[in-house]
A and B are shown apart, each in its own frame.
Chain A
Amino acid sequence: MKPSSFFSLIKKGAEKRVLISKLTPYLLLIPTIIYITVLIGYPLAQGVILAFQDSHSHSLSLINFETLVKDPHFWEALKFTFLLAGIIIPIQVSLAIAVSLLLYTRFKGSSLVLYVFIIPLTLSDVSAALMWYNILTGNGYLNKLLMALGLIEKPLRFFGYAYRYMEVLAIVLAEVWRATAIVFVILFAGLQMIGRDYIEAADVFGATTFQKLRHVILPMLKPSLQVALVTRTLFALQVFGTVWILAGRDVPILAGEAFYWQTQILNYNVASAYALVIGVISILLGWLYFKFLKPEYLAGGGL
């Protein structure tokens, strides 16, 4: 064979090999891309259309959003969704930081405490809600205990429309109990990534615990804190199971209203409108966060 054609054959073989290796990642991504387009993208588009469709005439209009705006439940749902988020998230973050710092000292038995603390991660919001229902209900342990101790004569009422704000309290308890671990996991991993050297250096230079916290630990924890906050906030907008179990529609929330219109009124369009509202608020908040954070932080672990 002529040398030149021999070499061109080799080059072709090489090019084929290089070509395959360059294409491989895209080939591996194809199933995901197809799935996302068909089973997420398409329903998403449908959802947007549904939200703008009149449920009777199927023509496009803003009627669903009009219904929303005119419905006092909508405004209450908005209020309560944000109220719950506003109470729960700060408590969760503070608790998570406290537990992270405690476990960071690696005292004897700290791994056990770690495993115990993340147990709630395995539980659904429905289960957690039922647990606190169990404790707080009329026949629940709290009331029975307090009555047996003679501290109260009648059971404390946590449930029922008239006791809406007690229901909010129950919801806060259940959510803090269940979901603090989510924030904790992100923060604790972030805390461990701070080299011990930095903290030990602070020790050597005579910093007090409070100073160490303020000047070394919390600043270096910022990226994790930001990830945790974004994640938690976006999930807080979708809060559903806990509220539905403990309060039904007494405490309206956005996801709950969507559920109500979908399964009980059977008006899929208004339900979609609610879903769209949740979606838009999520995107807005997400974008706000992105603006003030570097996206690479979000690539870290955590739920």
Chain B
Amino acid sequence: MSQARFLLRKLLVYAAAIMICAWILIPIVLIFMSAFADPHDYYDIKKVIPTNFTIENVKDLLITLGEWRAVLNSLVVALLTIAISFPIGLPAGYALAKYFFPGRDFFRLLIIGLRMFPVMVIGIPLATLYIRIGLSDTPVGVAIAHASLALPFVILITSSVFASIPRDYEEAGLIFGLSGFGVFSRITLPLALPGLAAAAIFVFVLSWNEVFVATILTLMNRTLPADVLVSVLEAPDPYKFAAAFIMILPAMAFVFIARRYLVTMWGIRLR
């Protein structure tokens, strides 16, 4: 390839890279800006970019409008979702990874099918069920529904995490004096911890962002997305953006922390 063509190609590649980054980052930057923009600037049609900033939007939303309760609910629900889905899904993930047994493939297929299942099909009957058993409008109720959503992911992710731990390490453990459970707790689990942590973050974000089921299962104790859907949409724009900011920040922060693990979790290799 000639020098000129090579340089041109390089230029195009970097131009494309910049455009992609802009495409993704600009909407995020804009909404952060809007969340903290002085409403006067926002409603001023002549001002493209706000110059006056304030934290009143966020403060009002959280305190005056009581959105902090929704934030708390979202947090509680997300943590409960992890607390429910992990003890159930982790053993299954381990079984899938380390044992060959009749029915293994069928089970795996079942879990994969479950993953793609429309959540509303169980969400709606759960709403009526919860009314009967008194779980309606509770974080636990929402967490149980979210755990159903998360369970296939927990099983499949933990399965691949455990499978990635070489069998040799575990067999060496067996030879040098450990029982089966000892191998799990002293060798497999410590080595699997980073991957499991990434899975936990994934489940957290999944629950934090979920809106349909959360809305139909709650009335007074809404999670943040549910509240946005129902109440905040009626509120003035600046509050909408403030709410978006609150929704986005934790998720982005978490994933930033765990970005390496998440990327390898999806099977992508970085250089």
Contacts and interface: CB of A to CB of B under 8 A. Distances in A.
A230 B112 CA distance: 12
Nearest to B18: A113
A134 B268 contact: no
A268 B21 contact: no
Contact of B259 (A115, A188, A301): A115
B6 to A, nearest CB: 12
Given A25-B99, A32-B88, A263-B216, A122 B118 contact: no
B124 A189 contact: no
A99 B13 CA distance: 10
Interface string A267-288: 0100110011011001000100
B148 A126 contact: no
Interface centre among A114, A117, A123 (most CB of B within 10 A): A123
B27 A134 contact: yes
Interface in A160-180: 177
B20 A99 contact: yes
B121 interface: yes
Nearest to A105: B13
A185 B266 contact: yes
Given A131-B28, A131-B30, A282-B117, A102 B16 contact: yes
Contacts of B21: 112-113, 116-117
A40 B122 contact: yes
Contacts, number: 257
A137 B236 CA distance: 12
A281 B16 CA distance: 38
B92 A31 contact: yes
Contacts of A111: 270-271
A46 B216 CA distance: 16
Given A110-B17, A259-B215, A276-B121, A135 B209 contact: no
Secondary structure type dominating chain A contacts: helix
Given A40-B122, A275-B118, A240 B47 contact: no
Contacts of B14: 107
Interface in A69-106: 99, 102, 105-106
B91 interface: yes
Contact of A286 (B10, B113, B209, B262): B113
Interface string B227-266: 0110001000100110110011001101100010011011
Given A255-B120, A268-B128, A272-B125, A139 B225 contact: no
A241 B118 contact: no
B13 A144 contact: no
B112 A47 contact: no
Interface string B133-148: 0000000000010011
B92 A107 contact: no
Interface residues of B, number: 92
B265 A244 contact: no
B13 A28 contact: no
A73 to B, nearest CB: 17
B40 to A, nearest CB: 11
B271 A31 contact: no
Interface in A1-45: 21-22, 24-26, 28-29, 31-32, 35-36, 39-40, 42-44
20 contacts: A24-B99, A28-B99, A29-B91, A35-B147, A44-B122, A47-B121, A50-B128, A105-B13, A110-B17, A114-B270, A122-B252, A126-B244, A127-B248, A139-B237, A231-B116, A255-B120, A263-B215, A286-B113, A298-B112, A300-B267
Given A134-B237, A240-B211, A302-B266, 9 more contacts: A25-B104, A43-B122, A44-B125, A119-B252, A134-B30, A263-B215, A282-B116, A299-B108, A300-B267
Interface of B: 10, 13-14, 16-17, 20-21, 23-25, 27-28, 30-31, 34, 42-43, 45-48, 87-89, 91-92, 94-95, 99, 101, 104, 107-109, 112-114, 116-129, 144, 147-148, 151, 153, 155, 160, 180, 205, 208-212, 215-216, 225, 228-229, 233, 237, 240-241, 243-244, 247-248, 251-252, 254-255, 259, 262-263, 265-271
Interface of A: 21-22, 24-26, 28-29, 31-32, 35-36, 39-40, 42-44, 46-47, 50, 99, 102, 105-107, 109-127, 130-135, 137, 139, 141, 144-145, 147-148, 155, 177, 185-186, 188-189, 192-193, 230-231, 234-235, 237-238, 240-241, 244-245, 255, 258-259, 262-263, 268, 271-272, 275-276, 278-279, 282, 286, 295, 298-303
In the A-B complex, the 7 residue pairs with the closest CB atoms: A124-B209, A189-B267, A25-B99, A28-B95, A46-B125, A47-B125, A28-B91
